Chain A
Amino acid sequence: MDPSVLIQQFFNALALGGIYALVALGYTMVYGIIELINFAHGDVFMVGAFVAMWVLTVPLGQHGGIKDPFLLIGVLLLVFVVTMIVMGVVGVLIERFAYRRLRNAPRLAPLLTAIGVSFILQNIIQTIFGPSPKTFPKLISSSGRFDLFGASISYLTVFIFVLAIVLLVVLQAFIGRTRLGRAMRSTAQDRDAAQLMGVDINRTIALTFFIGSALAGAGGVVAGLYFGQVQFNLGFSAGLKAFTAAVLGGIGNIPGAALGGFIIGFVEVYAGQFGLARWGEALVFAVLIIVLVFRPSGLLGQALGERA
């Protein structure tokens, strides 16, 4: 096979993996802190893509690529900030109204609620924007390319990869270095003890949802830019794959989620490259099942005992 194609696909895998990584972070953070598989998270990602599309097309009136670099940076910054804040607030609202009351309920209850929220989000978007795919403005034209070992690489893929890594590093620093990050870690470790030490549990969990959903929102913007279109059911399979990524990396582990995201990206892209495009999804789920069966703690995770 032509090596330049493989190199090109390598960058595509990095971009796709970056998207999955951004979504996987939210899964892993929420699971780490309240042990809930936030089933609606994939749909938060999808809503983020729609919010970004709306912001771009309606108030900003952008429909195609932007040539002026300063304008491009300005528009991108605005879209990312607005989408991330909106989705963060949506995440906090979901937590407040759907999950908070069930924090001490049997596990099944919040999980079912999350599925319900997922369906609600999908239907709201379907009602507003209709069931057919919508075009997402390609701000960064995919014709902007540079050559690398004979392969033509689009700037967009590099941008997505760099953005995912930057957000990951910022997140890691926030959780590791700041007071709020410490509150999150202590809440994840032992909620009651954290509360006794003066941590505001409700606020900390809300913050976790805010950050996780904001990252999913960023993922939504990126996905829109990358695929060039968005649809109301985008979140279901993307969410499942991102969750697979989180589990693969070791759920609750932030670098793990990112690593898992990139692995899933590679599996999917190279499956497509070798003529298995139709089987890409099945392959990802097979990976999920195999990982859960043989190494439920994931690649970078620690083995968790059953909590009493």
Chain B
Amino acid sequence: MTDQQQAAADPRRPVNNESPGILHAVTGFLGRHRSLAVLVGVALAGAFLPLIAQVPPLRTFQPLSSWLNVFTLAGVFVLLALGLNIVVGLSGLLDLGYAAFFAIGSYTYAFGASPYYGIHLPFLPMLLVGALMAAVFGVLLGAPTLRLRGDYLAIVTLGFGEIVPIVFKNSDEFTGGTNGVSGIDAPNVFGIQFTTLNILPFYVVMLFLVAFTMVLVYRLQESRLGRAWMAIREDELAAASNGINTVTTKLLAFALGATTAGLAGVFSASKLTFAGPDQFIFAVSFTVLAMVVLGGMGNVWGVALGAFILFMIQNVFLKQLNQVFDTLKVPILSDIDFIKYQFLLYGLALVLMMLLRPEGLFPNRRRKQELHEDELEVIEITEPTDAAGVMDE
């Protein structure tokens, strides 16, 4: 049986028989093997990004190594956004202290692989340890609080997100206090020593992490657990009455989100060779949240893309904009420091997004239906007596 016949036999994909060809076979094949599609997608993106950076206008801004550096750091935020997407996008739990788990991952690696305690554990196992640490804290925070109603949860997580950096900052004797931990070991994987001068290995590891997380989320999304998350997101009471254990299900979402943040934390600490309390302030949690919301809550590709775009805007575009206007001496624009206004822009973008397009730039189909429920129901219901029911939340 050829791929094409297989595609035709697959009832899930309506196949247009009039357009045969390799392209169709490929899309059909990838449609059936989503995980593979994700891997291919990430690999292609990973290969194309450095090429795009070589295109004349981009190349003049900064050399390839700087571009790779920025892409790698963007990857950290893509990871964070993917993890937060599990919590906010898939399960509908608003976590406003997500940076806390990022911090826990970072500090775990900082303590386990730096001169600070004189311990030098290898990178790959520490990746797991950091993720596990974050997950443990996710469960510790989640177990008592996930019973709370949604917006209370948001505040508890916000409180937690504030406490964690304060603890790292104030426990000088154990954590390096305000100065943080510096001189953290760069990874040495399979005999390859990573250095700040040689970004490529970092970049490749980042791609692996992103691909791994994306496949994980993709597979989870379609699993029993993923459907339970979405059921809770849509209506927690209904989900509970259908036999879903809402507490454990939410706890799993929380723990997995934290795990991803832990991974990102370990990677970021090894990349920057530094971990300090100021890296994990509320603005970080907020930035990641904005990435998830702008990208499209619940859509893996959308979230990843949203995170990447926002990071590039924040760290490259706004800077370059300043330089371009400065060199061209545009009258008013050259006086404006665009980086200063980034949070104003985020705020505006968030408000406008929620008002005009709450499903994000690249929406998840089901999420979109939920967010536009009101409009749909008003159209569907013809009997005027039911209209009161629509208004009833």
Q: Which residues of A contact B (CB under 8 A)?
A: 35-37, 98, 101-102, 104-113, 115-120, 122-124, 126-127, 192, 236-237, 240, 243-244, 247, 278-279, 281-282, 285-286, 288-289, 292-293, 296, 306-308
Number of interface residues of B (CB under 8 A): 48
Cβ of B315 to closest chain A Cβ, rounded Å: 18
New A-B pairs, 19, CB < 8 Å, besides A120-B351, A292-B148: A98-B351, A104-B374, A104-B393, A106-B92, A107-B150, A108-B150, A109-B354, A112-B293, A115-B96, A116-B346, A123-B347, A282-B166, A282-B167, A285-B163, A286-B159, A289-B145, A296-B148, A296-B149, A306-B237
**Is the pair A123, B163 in contact by a Cβ cutoff of 8 Å?**
no
Cβ of B378 to closest chain A Cβ, rounded Å: 11
B393: chain A residues at CB < 8 Å are 104, 307-308
A119 CB contact (under 8 Å) in B148, B347, B355: B347
A120 CB contact (under 8 Å) in B151, B344, B374: B344
Does B118 interact with chain A (Cβ within 8 Å)? no
B154: chain A residues at CB < 8 Å are 37, 111
B166: chain A residues at CB < 8 Å are 278-279, 281-282
**Is the pair A116, B347 in contact by a Cβ cutoff of 8 Å?**
yes
A115 CB contact (under 8 Å) in B152, B159, B286: B286
State A171–B349 Cα separation when bound (angstroms).
36
State A116–B392 Cα separation when bound (angstroms).
27
State A102–B352 Cα separation when bound (angstroms).
12
Cβ of A307 to closest chain B Cβ, rounded Å: 7
State A182–B149 Cα separation when bound (angstroms).
27
**A113-B351 contact in complex given A105-B371, A289-B159, C-beta closer than 8 Å:** yes
Residue of A nearest to B373 (CB): A106
Cβ of B311 to closest chain A Cβ, rounded Å: 17
State A175–B237 Cα separation when bound (angstroms).
33
**Is the pair A123, B162 in contact by a Cβ cutoff of 8 Å?**
no
Residue of B nearest to A192 (CB): B391
Most B CB within 10 A of own CB, among A104, A116, A123:
A116
Across chains A and B, which 5 residue pairs bring their CB atoms closest together, nearest first? A119-B347, A116-B350, A123-B344, A285-B159, A116-B351
Does B144 interact with chain A (Cβ within 8 Å)? yes
State A303–B162 Cα separation when bound (angstroms).
27
Residue of A nearest to B370 (CB): A106
**Is the pair B350, A112 in contact by a Cβ cutoff of 8 Å?**
yes
Does B210 interact with chain A (Cβ within 8 Å)? no
Does B358 interact with chain A (Cβ within 8 Å)? yes
State A104–B388 Cα separation when bound (angstroms).
13
Task: Show 10 A/B contacts (Cβ-Cβ < 8 Å), sorted by A.
Answer: A35-B151, A105-B374, A109-B354, A111-B94, A115-B96, A117-B347, A120-B348, A192-B391, A240-B158, A281-B166
B348: chain A residues at CB < 8 Å are 116, 120
Cβ of B122 to closest chain A Cβ, rounded Å: 34
Residue of A nearest to B234 (CB): A106
State A278–B159 Cα separation when bound (angstroms).
16
A120: chain B residues at CB < 8 Å are 344, 347-348, 351
B344 CB contact (under 8 Å) in A124, A286, A288, A308: A124
**Is the pair A37, B343 in contact by a Cβ cutoff of 8 Å?**
no
A interface footprint on B306-344 (CB within 8 Å = 1, 0 otherwise): 000000000000000000000000000000000011011
**Is the pair B144, A108 in contact by a Cβ cutoff of 8 Å?**
no
**Is the pair B92, A192 in contact by a Cβ cutoff of 8 Å?**
no
State A105–B367 Cα separation when bound (angstroms).
13
State A237–B170 Cα separation when bound (angstroms).
17
Does B88 interact with chain A (Cβ within 8 Å)? yes
State A269–B349 Cα separation when bound (angstroms).
38
State A25–B316 Cα separation when bound (angstroms).
43
Residue of A nearest to B151 (CB): A37
**Is the pair A236, B282 in contact by a Cβ cutoff of 8 Å?**
yes
Does B252 interact with chain A (Cβ within 8 Å)? no
Does B289 interact with chain A (Cβ within 8 Å)? yes
**Is the pair A289, B351 in contact by a Cβ cutoff of 8 Å?**
no
State A12–B353 Cα separation when bound (angstroms).
43
A98: chain B residues at CB < 8 Å are 351, 355
Does B155 interact with chain A (Cβ within 8 Å)? yes
**Is the pair A102, B151 in contact by a Cβ cutoff of 8 Å?**
no
A interface footprint on B16-30 (CB within 8 Å = 1, 0 otherwise): 000000000000000
